[in-house]
Structure 1
Amino acid sequence: MLAITVKNIPDDLYENLKLSAQLHHRSINSEIIACLEKKLLIEKVAAEKRITNARQLRSKFKAKNADIDEIESLIEEGRP
């Protein structure tokens, strides 16, 4: 496994890292790895899953259908 050295870490950043490591019951090294994994190993979601998620989210909202005349009048008078 490779190793890196990080220099000139600002004091406040180091303190936040140290606190986060304590809260997660990890060493500072393990916390750095966890932070890097969270930021850099982005989960790729399949298109079908995105569509399913969007449909589930949309189903929570009750939208009424508006015709073009209603839309235009709302634009002209401003939104409530």
Structure 2
Amino acid sequence: MASLTIKGIPDELLDDLRRSAEANRRSINSEVLLRLERSVGRASIDPEEFLSRVRARRARMELPPLTDEFLAEARAEGRL
């Protein structure tokens, strides 16, 4: 995989990137890569592939399904 060095980044821009990366729980490198992908337009998402990844992640997390009954119970217990 290739590397890229960027010189002359204004301090304010770097501070903004740091804040954004921290807020999104990413490294600065990951934040910059994500923003580059979005600006170049390479990040088109296949809905079926996306849903497949979401379902796989959800299965690993072992979360209960979000049914109307589950949400009503959570509200009643003050969790929502």
CA offset at residue 11 of structure 1? Answer: 0.4
Structure 1 distance, partners of 2:23, 2:12, is 16
Aligned to 2:35: 35
> Cα–Cα, structure 1 residues 3 and 39, in superposed 2: closer, same or farther, change >3 Å?
same
> Cα–Cα, structure 1 residues 39 and 2, in superposed 2: closer, same or farther, change >3 Å?
same
Give the superposed CA RMSD: 1.6
Using the size of structure 2 for normalisation, the TM-score is 0.51
Structure 1 distance, partners of 2:32, 2:25, is 13
Using the size of structure 1 for normalisation, the TM-score is 0.51
Q: How many residues align?
A: 44
Aligned to 1:11: 11
1:1-80 equivalences in 2 (<5 Å): 1-40=1-40, 41=42, 43=44
CA offset at residue 42 of structure 1? Answer: 6.0
> Cα–Cα, structure 1 residues 19 and 5, in superposed 2: closer, same or farther, change >3 Å?
same
Aligned-residue sequence identity (percent) comes to 42
Structure 1 distance, partners of 2:35, 2:43, is 12
Structure 1 distance, partners of 2:28, 2:9, is 13
1:30 is paired with a residue of what secondary structure?
helix
4+ long deviations beyond 2 Å: none
